[in-house]
Structures are given as structure tokens and as C-alpha cells.
Amino acid sequence: MQSFNSISKEYLAQRKQAGETCRLFNKSPSKGNLKRIKELFLKSGDGVIIESGFHCDYGNQIVLGDRTFININCTILDAPISEGAITIGDDCLIGPNVQLLAVSHATNPAERLNKENFAAQISIGNNVWIGAGVIVLAGVTIGDNAVVGAGSIVTKDVAANTVVAGSPAIKLKDI
């Protein structure tokens, strides 16, 4: 995990700009406002669909593969540093109310007083289905073709070609 100060003047300004872009899109999810959202990202593939209710902190470390679908009310807490990257592969299905949280805080109370954030990458492979209400925490990799059951909290890596579910998510079967 890499630390950064999210309340620095520079990062506050970046978050404000990304928040305004998201707000405009959510108010009017037109093709023009979708284009503005995609311009925040490091990369957005062809055929990406993002439904309204989308929120990200910065966007500049988000990579979306081709033909990925992000359903309503997705929250991506990304960081403006390389360790805060969120990569979603091709042909992924992201259910409603999914949270991808690459950012966290110190558990030590004295360290939290400094307001430092910690970020670790989230990597989602190709053809992954993440069900409704799933929370994926910092530092997690989800392999190709995996399925994450609705309502799960993913705290550890998910192998390719598996189904996981629960809180915390555990492997249910191979596919």
C-alpha cells in the first residue's frame, strides 16, 4: 500500500472536478456527459456502458476494458497515484450498488490523525461478473471469468474461473 494525503490542495481540487463531472452525468446521463466521465479515466475501452449514479474520487487511474457494463450507483474510491489504480477488464458486468474501494485509512488512531490515506490496486480480469451490492477492498485481484455473488465483501484475491460469495467472500465452486 502507498500513502497519500487526500486533503492536499491539489487532490481536493481534483476530487472536486471529478465530483462535478459525475454530478452532471448523474443528473443527465446523456452521451455527452458519459463522454466527460470517460475522459476522466486513464483508459476507457470501446462499448463501455455506465449507468447513472456513478461516482469516483479522481478517475485518472481507472482503466476500463472493452464492452464493460457498470450498472446504477457504482462507487469507485480510486486514488490519484499508481497504487490506487483500478483496472476492470473486457466484457465485465458490474452490478448495481457495487463499491470498489482502493483507498483506506490507518487502523492506528494516532496515524489516522494525520489524515493520510492508503491505496492499493484493484484488478478485475476479463468476463467477470460482480453481483449487486458487492464491496471489493484495496489490494484485491479478481481473476478472469470469476463470479462474485451479490452482497459479498471481497477481502482477498479471487481465482479465475471460480464463484465466491459471502462476508468475507469465500470460494463456493469452480466454473
Active site residues: 105
Q: Could you say which DSSP state residue 9 is in?
A: H
DSSP secondary structure, 64-123, as one string: E-TT-EE-TT-EEE--SSGGG-EEE-TT-EE-TT-EEE-EEE-SSHHHHTTTEEEE--EE
Q: Which residues of 113-148 are buried (b: 16+ CB within 10 A; e: fewer)?
A: eeeebbbbbbbbbbbbbbbbbbbbbbbbbbbbbbbb
C-alpha span between 148 and 129 (Å, rounded): 6
CB contact set of 20 (below 8 Å; sequence gap of 6+): none
Residue with cell string 471460480: 162
Q: Cβ–Cβ contacts within 10 Å for residue 82, how many?
A: 11
